[in-house]
Structures are given as C-alpha cells and as structure tokens.
Structure 1
Amino acid sequence: MHVLITAGPTYEPLDPVRFIGNHSTGKMGYALAEAFAAEGAEVTLVSGPTSLPDPADARITTQRVQTADEMYAAAAAVAPAADIWVFAAAVADYKPRQMAENKIKKDGDTLTLELVKNVDIAGTLGHTKRPEQYSVGFALETNNEQAYALDKLRRKNFDLVVLNSLRDAGAGFRHDTNKVTLLEAGGQMTIFELKPKVAVARDIVETVLARYSHHA
C-alpha cells in the first residue's frame, strides 16, 4: 500500500527574506506518516518548512518543499500511484502576485500587497481521484465547524475529513495534543477525546485502513 501525505505549512515569498506562512508545525502529518509506516505502508511525505527531522523509518520517503506550487507539483507526481491520500498540510490560500527581487525597503507608513489565490491541492487532485483511491482531508475551523467540514468533504471529493476546532483547548497548531472529529462521506461521525498527536494519528490511521479495506 502506498500513502501520500502532505504536512506542515507553506511559505509564500514576498521578497528574498520575507514570506507569508502560518503556525503549522507539521507534527500531525509526520505522526500520520509514522503511523501508516508502522502498519506496513510505503509513505511519501511531502513536507513544507518544519523544524522536524525527516522520519527515520525506511518506509517513509520525505520530500521537502516551500511553496504551495511546489507542494502541488510534488503531490501530483505521486498521487496517481498512491492508494490513500492524506492532506494534512496547512497550505497558504494566497500568495503574493509577484516576489520582489530585492528586499522590500521601508517606504511610507503603509505597504499594500496584492495576493492571488494558490492552487487548491486537495481539490484539484480530488477531481482526478479514481473510485478505488481513498482521500482524507483536514479542516481547521473556528465556527460552524461541522457544516464547513462537510462542505469541504463534498467540494474536494474527500472520503473522510478530520475536523479540528480551534475552540477546543489543546487542539490545533502549536500543541502536542489534538482533539478531532472524523466526518465521513457516508454520514458517519466519530468524536475522539483530547490525546497526544501520536495517539490521534493512530486513531485516524486505524479508521482509514478499516474504511479503505471495505472501499477498495
């Protein structure tokens, strides 16, 4: 079995020294890669910039990228041959229209940036998904969580969405713990308690492998 996982943030450069990014640590995606490998899967981990070392498991191949465009290119190259896709990265929705060749100097009290939409990696690849492939997305929401997550599941052709609520203490970015709800295309919902991200990854992987065995 071959699993594609995206993890971490993307950095979209403004100039040679500055970027637009987010606080994703990559811990959840890396924990998922290790949990799938522990079950015997071959894993391609496409990682944005993180401070984490490459996983040591020989079954995990780590590809490092910076931008959403680079992440899309790396994921698209692997996706057709992968059985399971897990989109755990926090991809920047927008990028600067152009990167300044030199460092932007302070000039005046305001700076106006023009941003353009990034490629929707999960959504674009979702349109190419074959019936036997299984796709997992993540939703990090602050309000109307379930409605947004189910909308995302439909739009991006996911089979399962892992919902994090930023309203849950200890969940989301910058924590070693997470509290997730799994929402599935068939309408099933599974709520897990707050746990270390390694344990959350095992819960997700167990669920995905059980569903995939019936799905494939």
Structure 2
Amino acid sequence: MKKHFLITAGPTHEPLDPVRYLTNRSSGKMGYALAGAAAHEGHRVTLISGPCELDVPTGVDFIPVETAAEMYEAVKRYIGKSDIAIFAAAVADYRPAHVPDQKIKKTGDTLTIEFIKNPDILGSAREVFGYQGTLIGFAAETENVEKNARVKLQKKGCDFVVANDVSRKDIGFDSSENEVALIFAEHTEPLPKADKYQLSLDIIERALAI
C-alpha cells in the first residue's frame, strides 16, 4: 500500500540583521535522499526544506521555507495529511530576540545578541498537532549518541529516531555517506556505513513496517 510521507530537510536560516543569518552545516542531502527514495518507491512525498543547494527530487511536492518558524507553520499545515512523518531537518534551536531593520555596524570589540527559543517542531507533532501517524526523528549528536537519541525518542513520542555522530569527518554533514543507528523503544538497530540513498531505502522500509 502506498503512503503519504512528510519529510523535512536542510538547515534553517535565522536572520541576525538584513544581511546576516545564523545557520548550521546541514547540506540537506539526507532529507532529499529520503524524499527521492520514497518518491521512487511510488509513495506521495511532501518535502519541506530549508535553504539547500540541491535539486528537488522528481515527483515530490516541494515546500521551501527559510526560518524555523516558517518550517513550524508548514509542518503544522501539512502533517495531518501524511501517514509517515520524517523530521530530518537540522532546525535552529534559537533565534535572535530582535532583528534590526538596518545592518549591525562594527562598533566595540564584542557584540552581545540575545536569543530566544524556536518552536519545537518534532516535539509539537504529537502534543500540539495531534499527529497519529508514524513519527521518525533525527538526532545529530557529537557525544553520547545513543543515550541522547533515546531521550529524544521518549520525549518527542517518536516511533524511532535515526541517530548519527556528526563529529566524524567521513559521514554526516556535507557527505554523501552516513552511518546511523535506528533507536527504537526496545532495541537499537545499527545500519552500516552506506550512501544516503541506500540508508534512506532502509529507513523507509522500517517506517513502512510499523
């Protein structure tokens, strides 16, 4: 049976002023690979993506966003129509409390900017959006990878979490390959290092089995 996937991908850009923004090293490759793989398998895909320099996979419904707040609103709008939601985007946890209308000029030797917390998109899926479908989160960690991913699994109500160590130089950010572990409530399933498209097929297979 064919399913409707909602997939988030890429980083977010949080404006500091009209010419600068805060972001992270996510290339979006994992999320786009997931979207392409799901579409290739004949599923309907809604891809909500932050700014990426990637070609949109053929056959997906593409929703471009820039900030975490915009991604939150897009997910809120579309998640109820999906059977399986995969949150692969690297969303900024914080944004500047105030964004000036003009460029911040260089004045003193230091600059202090106040940040406020962005809405928790994955954490809102169950409790705020009332999502009842299969929910999969990603945990990009630099230490205690499995432990931190398992905390996310429990706090966010995920069916499983895809965990990977982004401190490694050979996988993860900017790489076409990754090595992940699927964290379920009762067990952990490591997936060997492979290209992101093959890993996407494995993740989609596990999601469909739930």
Classify the secondary structure of the residue corresponding to 2:203: helix
In 1, distance between residues paired with 2:21 and 2:109?
20
- TM superposition outliers: structure 1 runs of 4+ over 6 Å: none
User: 2:79 touches 2:131 (CA, 8 Å); kept in 1?
Assistant: no
User: 2:94 touches 2:117 (CA, 8 Å); kept in 1?
Assistant: yes
Q: Which residue of 2 aligns with 1:148?
A: 148
In 1, distance between residues paired with 2:207 and 2:32?
16
Tell whether 2:195 aligns with 1:170: no
* Structure 1: runs of 5+ lacking an equivalent: 212-216
User: 1:170 touches 1:179 (CA, 8 Å); kept in 2?
Assistant: no
Q: State the 1:19 CA deviation.
A: 0.4
Classify the secondary structure of the residue corresponding to 2:192: coil
Q: State the 1:56 CA deviation.
A: 2.0
User: 1:3 touches 1:84 (CA, 8 Å); kept in 2?
Assistant: yes
Q: Which residue of 2 aligns with 1:104?
A: 104
Q: Residue 175 of structure 2 aligns to which amino acid in structure 1?
A: H
CA-to-partner distance for each residue in 1:60-112, whole Å, 9 max, x for gaps?
A: 10111000000000111011111111000000000000111011110111110
Q: Which residue of 1 aligns with 2:117?
A: 117
User: 1:161 touches 1:184 (CA, 8 Å); kept in 2?
Assistant: yes
User: 2:96 touches 2:115 (CA, 8 Å); kept in 1?
Assistant: yes
Q: Residue 209 of structure 2 aligns to which amino acid in structure 1?
A: A
Q: Which residue of 2 aligns with 1:19?
A: 21
User: 1:183 touches 1:189 (CA, 8 Å); kept in 2?
Assistant: yes
Closer, same or farther: CA 105–168 of 1 in aligned 2, 3 Å: closer
* Structure 2: runs of 5+ lacking an equivalent: none
User: 2:7 touches 2:31 (CA, 8 Å); kept in 1?
Assistant: yes
The aligned runs of 1:82-97 (5 Å cut-off) are 82-97=82-97
In 2, distance between residues paired with 1:196 and 1:93?
28
Q: Which residue of 1 aligns with 2:198?
A: 199
Task: Judge which range, 33-42 or 67-76, deviates more.
Answer: 33-42
Q: State the 1:169 CA deviation.
A: 4.5
In 1, distance between residues paired with 2:91 and 2:131?
23
- RMSD after superposition: 1.2
In 2, distance between residues paired with 1:130 and 1:121?
12
Classify the secondary structure of the residue corresponding to 1:10: coil
User: 1:170 touches 1:194 (CA, 8 Å); kept in 2?
Assistant: no
TM-score, scaled relative to structure 2: 0.95
Q: Residue 206 of structure 1 aligns to which amino acid in structure 2?
A: E
Classify the secondary structure of the residue corresponding to 1:192: strand
Q: State the 1:184 CA deviation.
A: 1.2
Aligned residues: 207
Tell whether 2:10 aligns with 1:5: no
